[in-house]
Amino acid sequence: MKTKSLLPAVLTLAAALTLGAAPAQAQGQARTAPGAGGGPRISTAFSLPGAKVYPEGIATDPRTHTVYVGSYADGTVYRARPGRSEAEVFLPSGTDGRHTANGLRVDARGRLWVTDSTTGVAVYDTADGSRLAHFEVARGAGAPDRFINDLTLTPDGTAYLTDSVRGVIYRVTPEQLAAGSGVLTEAYDLTPALRPRPAGGFSLNGIVSDPAGRYLLAVDMPMGDLYRVDLRSGAVRRVTLIGGDLKAADGLSLSPDGTLRVAHNTTNTLTRWQVGANGTRARLTRTLTDPSLQIPTTLAHSRGRTLVVRSQFDKGGPMSPGSGTPTTFTVAAVSGL
């Protein structure tokens, strides 16, 4: 946030966040009070060192249960080892020229993928922090604005990344990863399917993939829509949402049983959905709204609990620069969601 090159990204994100609205609910669908009647309970999993962290991304390593968290403010990536109450710096700010750390994922071979909204994505060895590969958006005169946001990994090792300004999804194949570097390849253009919005407006944000590798699900945050991308045919369709919508939806987490968990940032809300077998329908099954979530940007479900990033973007962060003072930055643990 201290560099001129990051300013457009900050302004774009701030505008998008202020457009967030409460997710609609079907009549009679009650918000669940924390801990009430066996409902979800919110606690703190661990803290993040630093006064201006403003975290956004999170990923868990299923082999070691280590958690990684990325800072939108300066691109620092933190590592929280199992049983520790405070994370440590894993990749310092500015590593390899990284300005932000938006989307994070750990693949089956223990490699950490980190998106930078201003440039692209880099892949790191979780053993020693060395960079293994990097892929950047096209640059030069006439190149359109970009905002590389979130990513997901399919069973065959392919990565898919959302561009929140262009409304497209990029792809990095295992073959491209083996080459070590390159320009991000556009795989799917969702703009014909997206609802109309102002030119340059925010669109795609969180993205997940079907555990069987059949399709992707990507959310349009301002409009509250969820889109299904068929990985075989390339067909794009809007998912039928039953019981609510996905307005202000940021990060997504999809479990093998079809449970979709969603972080709605500006409304301090988490929702749980049941996705149909073919990914064309999703039913709202639970809603949790609580100010202690502190603008949740994304989440990861691991070992029976949901880890939620408390961004505090409204305390002097991207939502309201120069306004408010953040408290200690933490990651929440939510049980029962």
Are 112 and 103 in contact, with CB atoms under 8 Å apart?
no
The first and second tokens of residue 280, run together, are 């064309």
Q: Does the pLDDT at position 6 exceed 50? A: no
Q: Which range has highest mean pLDDT (19-33, 127-141, 166-180, 199-213)?
A: 166-180
DSSP code of residue 179: H
Domain range summary for the chain, segments of one domain joined by +: 4-335
What Å distances lie between residue 172 and 101, 152, 175, 179, 313, CA to CA?
A: 18, 11, 8, 11, 30
| pLDDT: which is higher, 11 or 211 | 211
Dist CA 113 CA 115 (whole Å): 7
pLDDT for position 30: 34
- On average, the pLDDT of the chain sits at 90
Q: What tokens does 96 get?
A: 């390899």
Alpha helices per DSSP H over 231-328: none
Taking residue 68's Cβ as centre, other Cβ atoms within 10 Å add up to: 26
Q: In this structure, are residues 224 and 195 in contact, taking their beta carbons and an 8 Å threshold?
A: no
Say if residues 254 and 275 touch (Cβ distance below 8 Å). Answer: yes
The CA-based dihedral angle spanning residues 124, 45, 288, 115, taken in that order and rounded to the nearest 10 degrees: -10
Q: In the structure, what pLDDT confidence band is assigned to residue 143 with cuts at 50, 70 and 90?
A: low
* Average pLDDT score over residue span 203-222: 98
Average of pLDDT values for 36-56? 91
Mean pLDDT of 283-291: 98
4-335 belongs to which CATH class? mainly beta
Contact, 153 vs 113, CB < 8 A?
yes
3-state DSSP of 9-31: HHHHHHHHHHCCCCCCECCCCCC
CA pair distance 56, 316, nearest whole angstrom: 15
Ranges 79-93, 123-137, 140-154, 317-331: which has the least confidence = 140-154
What are 253-272's pLDDT values in tens digits?
Answer: 999 999 999 999 999 999 99
According to the model, what pLDDT value does residue 25 have? 47
Rounded to an integer, what distance in angstroms lies between the CA atom of residue 122 and that of residue 40?
35
pLDDT in tens, 78-115: 999 999 999 999 999 999 999 999 999 999 999 999 99
What percent of the chain shows pLDDT beyond 70? 88
The reported pLDDT for the residue numbered 320 is 85
Q: Mean pLDDT across the stretch 132-137? A: 97
